[in-house]
Structure 1
């Protein structure tokens, strides 16, 4: 089987606190077929945005399954691990902040979407559920947004940039 890398790259110049910032985004594939390629995009990464759809429980489950941190089992001498992204991130980009992003916020209360989910005995992901997972994966922030309505969309990138700026400021001031 031959795999073609399906990583989409985007760049933009944005203003944050009246300063021009050059923003580069790499949208990497989450499928297992790309496990060996995905880490190639990690060097020099300043922040990870891990996204899921608020109206797709399977998308949310993938965040939990692929990013959850190893944790000790009480009364046992072992750790439980779940697969891949977090270990990849820790290995290739230790200490880089993670922001968990819930997308399609505009559809959470959409009656048609809620009915479709209800028929499958599912419901949209609540804010509280997402915050809990953000804590479990040690994300520095959880943000919900909608590309359709633009609600909180700019905030996602502003927050990411602010975390990067503060990390760079700490490194700079730590030299003295």
Structure 2
């Protein structure tokens, strides 16, 4: 059985842990949960191949900068998250996360860029707050352009709150590892990606093994 290690990184409070909880439980945590996600392992069937998906959460705050890379060993795909309504987190993709991953990982490691909090991009209250600081939400085109610039294999967007696009992200990540992108890793939309079939057949009943307790660094 093929085992895949996927590590999720990004600034603090952009929704990394919520994304993982939403995917693994089909529920959205109502309260902020700063990196208290158990390591998650699920058995899935992808393209007639049995796969064990191992998901790792990380803390994005500066105080963990020296410890966080310890979790990067043997990672096959990174998911860099930024909030679509937090421009600073978008800028840090290029300024912090890409350099950190490239410094601690093989040059051919796969990186998927994900914009979170899609449900807030058109929220009037959020738009008013951003406008007060002369800012605006990150558009899909901006995200796709950045993904191309920094060599990510794709750019995708999601909302952990509504679960829009959540499962598609991990389906894409798994298939990217099994069938690595070619042609200079051009960024393509994931709409045409075939869905994986979990074991057992119903997505909400994945076979799960959790690690012991857990602030994941």
Tell me by how many angstroms 1:130 deviates: 0.9
Partners in 1 of 2:171 and 2:74 — Cα distance?
Answer: 19
Question: Aligned pair 1:112/2:125, yes or no?
Answer: yes
Equivalent residues, number: 145
Q: Which of 27, 40, 46 is equivalent to 1:16?
A: 46
Tell me by how many angstroms 1:62 deviates: 1.5
Partners in 1 of 2:77 and 2:126 — Cα distance?
Answer: 32
Q: Based on CA coordinates, which of the two structures has the bigger radius of gyration? A: 1
Structure 2 length-normalised TM? 0.61
Within a 5 Å distance, the mapping from 1:83-94 to structure 2 comes to 84-88=99-103, 91-94=104-107
Structure 1 length-normalised TM? 0.74
Report the secondary structure of 1:125's partner residue.
coil
Q: Which of 81, 98, 108 is equivalent to 1:51?
A: 81
Partners in 2 of 1:96 and 1:161 — Cα distance?
Answer: 13
Partner residue in 1 for 2:148:
135
Partner residue in 1 for 2:58:
28
Question: Aligned pair 1:60/2:90, yes or no?
Answer: yes
Q: Which of 83, 93, 112 is equivalent to 1:99?
A: 112
Tell me by how many angstroms 1:147 deviates: 0.8
Report the secondary structure of 2:146's partner residue.
helix
Of 11-20 and 125-134, more deviation after overlay is shown by 11-20
Pairwise CA RMSD: 2.0
